[in-house]
Structure 1
Amino acid sequence: MTGSLAADVTVRVHRAESTHIVFYARNNTPTPLRMTLAQQGVMDQARHQLDAGLLALKDVLPTLEVDDRYVPEVFDFLYQIGKGLGFLLFGCHAKTIQDLETWWNRALPHGRNPDLPPPLVECIGDKDTFLPLELLPLFQGYPNTPRSRAEFVIECRNLVGFSCMVKRSMLLSAPIPTGLCLETRPGGRLPLRFLQHDQLEGARKELGWFTSEAAHRVEVDGPYPYGDTAAATLAEQICDPRRSLAGELRNIPDQILHFACHCYATLDSPLDNAIELSGGGQELRVKLSTIGADLYGLRSRPGQDSCEMPLVVMNACGAARMHATSALSFPYLFLMNGNRGFIGSEIEVPDGLAAEFSKALYERFLLRQLPLGRSVLEARNSLLHTYGNPLGIAYAAYADPQLHVCPEL
């Protein structure tokens, strides 16, 4: 795994006099498909509709596990999101829909086969033009209604997010890191910095898993904040991954920056969105604008050296504080900071599900050492298989799918 994978399908959103989407297949088979959107501003409407749909889906899932009795209702909520987004983006003309599904199935003829390696779909755009691609039923928009969890799993493979690895590539003015290998320390343990909101049960479960079942693979620095660590600013935790919470300068910096916290993304101004942490009796709530300004000051200090920045995993759990309409501000901040990727949810998800998704992701990425793209896809499907819960599809990946943990020498 020395180079980045070529995408099987590339999706680009272009904005000029009209907004249009172009689907490109690998080797141009079939030829590119261009679809003009019905009206300007439709991408913003799609984000609002995604937000409303995911929140409704979350509300209809009162517990982590979905009983077979409720599968048809949950499936209907899930598919209504995809069909509503499809109508908003592409309209409801029969030929348009048929052309889109025909193209998608020709480009990825084995895309829904769980026994074959999953295809890679790359979505390219600026932070205001990202398609809610994962929830679109592009393989088949008119499915059968499942009556059991096993049938539910099969029907969900019509959605891109349950059948394909999806890489979101954000167009940025800053250079994008190209390193695909996360380094371990002697003994094979990967350095991970843990930032928490200790009032969240899910956050405590995540920290417990890192320090027990995964302790032979992970070296945790943290949690932050806790006691004296609250004296350091959040920007300082993000800026220099080589410096530990105790102030020690290490040869191998943090490779993962993991947040288990509250996020606030309900405001019209993305820079007013905030991250909330707590620990050891300390509470910390910081706006993205403050983090960005502090990072600017820290980066301009004399003698400031650059190093490979860690992958960011942001598990926002708790009440409904984060909305999909503004969630893109979080990956944008970290990718502009030079972090090598971002994994996070479009909305705040329930505590229990957040902890289960984190465990499923890291079991694959850290313990089994699968590439990141495969790990994210399998984590979504793990929640679907194990609990009949489709909310793992709310997690999005802004990272190279080939990012992996370097094998021990």
Structure 2
Amino acid sequence: MTSEQAEISDLEEASSKAEKEEYNSVNLSEVIEPILGKTPKRQNDDYWGGDIKWASAKDISQNNTRKIRRTAEKITVAGKEASNAKIMPEGTLVVVARGSVGKSAQLGEPMAFNQTCYGLEADNNRLINDFLYYAWQYKFNQIQAVTHGTIFDTITMASFEDIQIPLPNIEEQKRISEVLTNFDDKIENNIKNNRELEDIVQTIFESWFVDFDPYVDFKKCDIGEIPKDFEVVEVSDLCNNIRNGGTPKRSNEEYWGGEISWVKTGELNGEVITETEEKITKKGLEDNNCNIVGENTVLVALYGASVGNIGLTKIPATFNQACCSLEAKENIGFGFLFQTLKHLKPKLKQLSRGSAQQNISQGIIKEQKVALPPEEDLKKFRERVHPFYEMMKINKNQSRVLSEIRETLLPKLMSGEIRVNDINLGNVEVDSEA
């Protein structure tokens, strides 16, 4: 039995022994004040580029941790005042009202947000912010059911009158939140660690192979000035195989829900890939001529909004038709190929074509010229950075297990099916290969 299975088994046992006593419920509108976000006028440059973080619905929906700390844009004090935007304090729950309806995050620091989001100001005498966040997750299905609108599902002020949340006393809210926050804090720490590891790898790559800091003697060539022991090659020269992806027919249920990981372009975010949202069957793989690739294969998005985006598989996987895979030669190493493609991303985006949908061909990727270092330097790079990618894999696997345990625990604690005193998780141990 894995650590994950053992922890979930313990939760099930605690649940069976506990007396099932549900908490009192209240309409959400009784314990929160919804604050609709605001957007300064786009045409006024004085309103944008300031110091006030401004979260969009996209920022919220794409945030993968409990708290949001990064925003794509910032506004100025003048923009805040002109739009009457309110800066909400750290810990405030912000929910998306249109588009990715119901997606949510807590503010990791004070910030404003746009008009497609609500900030939920809690009545601190009855409700704490952390508990509100988990209550919202618990009621997510109900939230979707009561959204208003015809063309687009929308959360309105009236929606908060229809949504009920459990409301134990403040002390019990704190206890429940503390348990669940422990999981989310560990997940967030793993994400932070992976970002730092990737930053280290990228810094080393750029220092050695872009800025050429360790080198003294240079030569001129058709891609500029490079160290004299380097040679100019094409991306195709770095690879054993470059393959196209494929998508099984959605209408055939025999093709979906299997055990073969299937990567979409939206999952290519410059990170290692240890799991996928969807899986296909062996029949789906074979009938649709999908290519399956092994660990440490680089995937590149060929078209759509994600064009030029990349990912690195740490599991065997197949991938959709909007991607191609690149398998590095052994003497090159996946780390060098991955960082090379990451460095080429702006150029690939620039070379993309198409009016309705931007796209690049596999041929464009293959023919890109790069400076290839000597074998000895490639070996040093592999030895230095490849262990970092293994650490990233371990962190991602741990986060997945922590998330699954939390999702098992959340409804049981929120419903009163089990109480905090009924469980004793201690330090969650996670198998590195889970």
What TM-score results when the alignment is normalised by the length of structure 1?
Answer: 0.25
Tell which structure's C-alpha radius of gyration is larger.
Answer: 2
